[in-house]
Amino acid sequence: MKAIFTLILTVLMAFPSGAETIRLRAGQSIKEAVNNASDGDTLLLSSGLYQENEIIIRKPLTILGESFPIIDGRDKGNIFLVAGENIHFKGIKIINTGKSNMDDSAGIKFFDSKNCSVDNVQLENTFFGLHFSNSSNMTITNNHLVSTAEKEYQTGNGIHLWKCKDSHIEKNYVKGHRDGIYLEFVTNTVSQGNFIEENNRYGLHFMFSHDNSYIKNTFKKNGAGVAVMYTKNVLMKENIFEENEGPSSYGILLKDISDSEVVGNIFRKNTIGIYMEGSSRTIFKNNSFNNNGWALKLMASCDQNTFEANNFFANTFDISTNGSLVLNKLQENYWDKYEGYDLDKDKIGDIPYRPISLFSVIVEKIPSAVILWRSFMVTLLDRMEKVIPSITPENMIDNSPKMKPYDFGTTNP
Amino acid sequence: MFKLLKYSLYDIVKSRFAILYTIFMILVAVSIYQVSEDMSKVSLSLLNIMLMIVPLIAAVFATTHFFNNLEFTELMLAQPVKRRDVFLSQVLAVVIMLSAAIVIGFGIPMILWGADSTVLTLLGIGIALSVVFAGLAFLASVLTRDKAKAIGISLSFWIYFSLIYDGFVLYLIYSFADYPLEKTTLGLVFFNPVDLGRIIMLMQLDISALMGYTGAFFQNFFGSAKGILLSSAMMLLWMLWPLGVAMRVFRKKDF
C-alpha cells in the first residue's frame, strides 16, 4: 500500500516537471500570460514597462523579472492579487498602485495563500506595499519599499500581515509608509535584518501576534518609533532603535506585552527609549540605552519584569514612573550616573543606586518643569533626595549596580 | 580713554588675582578633559562651572576691584578726563580680564584635546555671564560706599539668580500645574541671565528629552531663528543694562 502511494506521489511530482518558461516582452499583457500558463510555469518578464493592474493569480506560478521590469499600476487599484500555493515573485519592480483605504490597494496582495515568496522586489509609490491575509509559510526577503507620502493617511503599511503564520520577513528595506511592518494575529514569524526608517507612524507595529521573533532589525527616525501591543512570548534581540524623536515618539512602546524577552538591543537618541504599560514577566537583558531623553518610562501597571545587566549611558533621565508602586526588579545594571564605591572589589557597588531622581518625578507630573533641568536648584534638590529619599518610589532601586559598563561588543558604547 | 584702560589693565594683571583665576580655569578644564572621554560629558561638567563659579567670581572680583581702585578712581576724577571714560576703563579692564581668563583657561585644553560647537557655545555663555555679573557688581558698588556691603549685594545677586529665582519658578510651576504654563515659563526665563544661558545649552545637550511633550515647545522656540535672535538680544540686554545704570549713577555720584 505504502509503495503504491509513494509511486503515485512520485508520478505526481514528476508531472509538473514539464513546467515551461514563458518569456514576455515589454508591453505584453501579463494577465493574458497568467491565464494561458499552466501550473508551475515561470513567467519571465524582460526588462521594460508593463502597464497593468488587478493581475489575478490562482495557480502555482513564478513571476521572474530580468533586470527589474517595471509594472506600473497607473494609480489604479491593486497590481497583483494572489490566492494560491507556491507562487513566487522575484526581481521585479512594482510602482503606482491606487490610493484607497476602501480596498487597501497594494503592490502584491495575498489571500489564503501558502508557501509563497516575494524576493528582491522593488516597490515604489505603492499604497500598501506587500499585503498578506490569512496566509502561511510566506517568505518575504530582500525587498525594497519606498513611499513618498507626506501624511499618514496618504499611505498604507509597507509589509502588512494579517492572520498569517510561520512566515519569514528578512532583509527588507521600508521607508516612508504608514507602518514599516504591521502584524496583526500573526504567529510563529521571524523578522530579521530589516531596515525600517522614516515611516510616518510606526516602524514596527504588532498586535495579538504571539510567538514571534525580531532579530537584528534597525528602526530609525520613524514618526512614533515602534509600538507593540497585546502580545505574549515575543523575542526581541539585537535590534537597533534610534533617533525616534518627538513629543509622542518611543524607541519602543510596550503595551500589554508579557512573557517576552528583550535582549541585546541598542536604544540610541530616542525621546523615550522604552515606554511600558501593563506589561508583565518580561526580561530585559544586555541592552544599551545611550543618549535618550528617558531611557525607561516604567508605568506602575507593569509587574514582575526584570531589568538585568543593561548599560545606561548619558541619558537625561534613566527611569521615570507614574506612581509609587514598583513590582519590577532591577539588578546588576551599569548606570553612568552611579556615584557609589566598591570597597570589597567585587565590581558591584556597595551602596544601591536609585535611578529615579526627584526631578524626573516632578517632570512626570508637570512637564513644563523640564525647563529647570540642570539648574543649580534642581541639582541641589536631587542631591537632597538621594540622601533622604521621600518622594521617589522606594523600591525602584538597583541593589547591585555594576561599577564598570558591560562590553556587548557593539561599535557604540 | 585708552591710556586709562591701559593703566587699569596693568593694575589688574599686577594684582595676581588674574593669573590665579586663569590657572584655576586651566586646572579645571584639564581635569575635566582628563576624567571624561566623551565630548558631551565634558560640556556637561563645564556647564556647571560656567553657570555657578564664573558668575560668582565675576561678581566678587568686580566689586573688590572697584573698591581697591577707589583711590585711583578718585584721583582720576580730579583730572580733566570724562567721568564716563574713567568708569568705562574700569569696567572694560575687568571684563577683558575675566573673558581672557576663560578663553585662555579653556582655550588651551581645547586646542590640545579638541572641541565641538557645544563647548564653544559654552565659552560664549561663560563670557556673557561674566559681563552680566560684573555689571551687576559695579551697580552694587556705585550704589554703596562700603566694600563689605557691596560684596554682600553682589553675592545676593548671584544667589538670587542661580538659586532663589529657579526655586520661585519651580514653586510657580508647581502651584499652577493645572494651567498651560509653557509661555509663562518661557517669559520667566528671560528675566534671569543664568537660566537663559542654561537653556541655550540645554538645547544642545538634552535634545532628546526636550523633544518630549512640553520640551518640544521650548525646542521649537529656541531652535527657531526668532528664538535665537530673541534670546541673544535678551542676553545682550542683560549685559548692558546693569552697566548702563551703574554708569549713570557713577556720573552723578559724590565721592
User: Quick one: what percent of chain B has pLDDT higher than 70?
Assistant: 96
Cell, residue B43: 560640556
Interface of B with A in 33-62 (CB under 8 A): 38, 40-41, 47-48, 51-52
State the Cα–Cα distance between residues B102 and B96, nearest whole angstrom.
10
Give A57's contacts (C-beta < 8 A, 6+ positions apart). A34, A63, A80, A81, A82, A83, A84, A87
Per-residue pLDDT reduced to its tens digit, A197-251: 999 999 999 999 999 999 999 999 998 899 999 999 999 999 999 999 887 889 9
The residue among A128, A129, A124, A131 whose CA lies nearest residue A146 is: A124
Nearest-5° Cα angle at B231, B225 to B232: 90
Looking at residue B13, its amino acid is V
State the Cα–Cα distance between residues B140 and B127, nearest whole angstrom.
20
Predicted confidence at residue A12, as pLDDT, reads 47
**What is the secondary structure of A214-235 as a DSSP string?**
EES-EEES-TTEEEEEEEES-E
On the question of pLDDT at A181 being above 60, the answer is: yes
**What is the secondary structure of A29-56 as a DSSP string?**
-HHHHHHH--TT-EEEEPSSEEE---EE
Nearest to B213 among A317, A367, A375 (CB): A367
Find the mean pLDDT for residues A296-306.
94
Give A365's contacts (C-beta < 8 A, 6+ positions apart). B177
Q: Would you call B18 helix, strand, or coil by DSSP? A: helix
Predicted confidence at residue A395, as pLDDT, reads 86
> A289, A371, A373, A384: which to substitute to probe chain B, counting the most B Cβ within 10 Å?
A371
On the question of pLDDT at B223 being above 80, the answer is: no
The residue among A90, A100, A39 whose CA lies nearest residue A69 is: A90
On the question of pLDDT at A9 being above 70, the answer is: no
Find the mean pLDDT for residues B200-222.
75
Per-residue pLDDT reduced to its tens digit, A252-287: 999 999 999 999 999 999 999 999 999 999 999 999
Residue B104 CA: distances (Å) to CA of A5, A181, B18, B53: 91, 54, 11, 16
Predicted confidence at residue A75, as pLDDT, reads 92
- What's the gap in Å between the CA of B22 and the closest CA on chain A? 24
The residue among A156, A315, A175, A173 whose CA lies nearest residue A251 is: A315
Report which DSSP code applies to A17: G
pLDDT tier at A3 (50, 70, 90 boundaries)? Answer: low
State the Cα–Cα distance between residues A257 and B168, nearest whole angstrom.
42
Measured between beta carbons, which residues in chain B are less than 8 angstroms from residue A293?
A: 206, 208-212, 215
Predicted confidence at residue A190, as pLDDT, reads 96
Residue B248 CA: distances (Å) to CA of B8, B244, B251: 20, 6, 5
Q: Using CA atoms in the order A110, A113, A115, A121, what is the torsion angle rounded to 10 degrees?
A: -10
On the question of pLDDT at B66 being above 80, the answer is: yes
Beta carbons within 10 angstroms of residue A237's beta carbon = 17
Q: What residues are paired with A327 via a beta bridge?
A: A303
Question: φ, ψ for residue B189 (rounded to 5)?
Answer: -60, -35
CB contact under 8 A, B170 and A377: yes
Domain boundaries, chain B: 2-252
State the Cα–Cα distance between residues B135 and B153, nearest whole angstrom.
12
> A375, A382, A404: which to substitute to probe chain B, counting the most B Cβ within 10 Å?
A375
Q: Which of A284-288, A406-410, B47-51, B86-90 has the highest mean pLDDT?
A: A284-288
Q: What is the mean pLDDT of chain B?
A: 88
- Check CB contact of A322 with chain B, cutoff 8 Å: no
Handedness of CA B152, B153, B158, B159 (dihedral sign): positive
On the question of pLDDT at A338 being above 70, the answer is: yes
CB contact under 8 A, B209 and A317: yes
Interface of B with A in 162-181 (CB under 8 A): 162-163, 166-167, 169-170, 173-174, 177, 181
Predicted confidence at residue B211, as pLDDT, reads 65
Residue A391 buriedness (CB in 10 A; 0-12 / 13-18 / 19+):
exposed
User: Quick one: what percent of chain A has pLDDT higher than 90?
Assistant: 73
Beta carbons within 10 angstroms of residue A377's beta carbon = 18
CB contact under 8 A, A372 and B38: no
On the question of pLDDT at A14 being above 50, the answer is: no
Q: Would you call B82 helix, strand, or coil by DSSP? A: coil
Per-residue pLDDT reduced to its tens digit, A341-364: 999 999 999 999 999 988 888 888
Domains of chain A: 20-387 (2.160.20.10)
Nearest to A247 among B162, B163, B211 (CB): B211
Looking at residue A155, its amino acid is T
CB B195 within 8 A of CB B189: yes
> B208, B211, B219: which to substitute to probe chain A, counting the most A Cβ within 10 Å?
B208
Handedness of CA A177, A179, A185, A190 (dihedral sign): positive
CB contact under 8 A, B210 and A368: no
The ipTM assigned to this model is 0.82
- What's the gap in Å between the CA of A312 and the closest CA on chain B? 14
Per-residue pLDDT reduced to its tens digit, A35-88: 999 999 999 999 999 999 999 999 999 999 999 999 999 999 999 999 999 999
Q: Would you call A252 helix, strand, or coil by DSSP? A: strand
Greater pLDDT, B224 or B66: B66
Predicted confidence at residue A412, as pLDDT, reads 45
CB A374 within 8 A of CB B198: yes
Measured between beta carbons, which residues in chain B are less than 8 angstroms from residue A379?
A: 48
Cell, residue A407: 562590553
Residue A290 CA: distances (Å) to CA of B181, B199, B210: 30, 22, 15
- Check CB contact of B186 with chain A, cutoff 8 Å: yes
Predicted confidence at residue B62, as pLDDT, reads 94
Which has the minimum average pLDDT: A112-126, B139-153, B216-230?
A: B216-230
Find the mean pLDDT for residues A169-188.
95
CB A104 within 8 A of CB A131: yes
- Check CB contact of B255 with chain A, cutoff 8 Å: no
Predicted confidence at residue B7, as pLDDT, reads 85
CB A51 within 8 A of CB A72: yes
Q: What residues are paired with A213 via a beta bridge?
A: A190, A235
Per-residue pLDDT reduced to its tens digit, A88-104: 999 999 999 999 888 89
**What is the secondary structure of A102-143 as a DSSP string?**
TTT-EEEEEES-BS-EEES-EEES-SEEEEEES-BS-EEES-
Measured between beta carbons, which residues in chain A are less than 8 angstroms from residue B196?
A: none
Predicted confidence at residue B186, as pLDDT, reads 85
Nearest to B174 among A366, A367, A370 (CB): A366
Predicted confidence at residue A153, as pLDDT, reads 84
Per-residue pLDDT reduced to its tens digit, A358-412: 888 888 888 888 888 888 888 888 888 888 888 888 889 999 999 999 998 754 4
The number of angstroms, rounded, from the C-alpha of B121 to the middle of its chain's C-alpha atoms is: 13
Question: φ, ψ for residue A274 (rounded to 5)?
Answer: -125, 130
Predicted confidence at residue A17, as pLDDT, reads 52
The residue among A198, A268, A193 whose CA lies nearest residue A237 is: A193
Predicted confidence at residue A11, as pLDDT, reads 46
What is the CB-side half-sphere exposure of residue A80 using CA atoms within 13 A?
A: 32
Predicted confidence at residue A18, as pLDDT, reads 65
The number of angstroms, rounded, from the C-alpha of A197 to the middle of its chain's C-alpha atoms is: 10
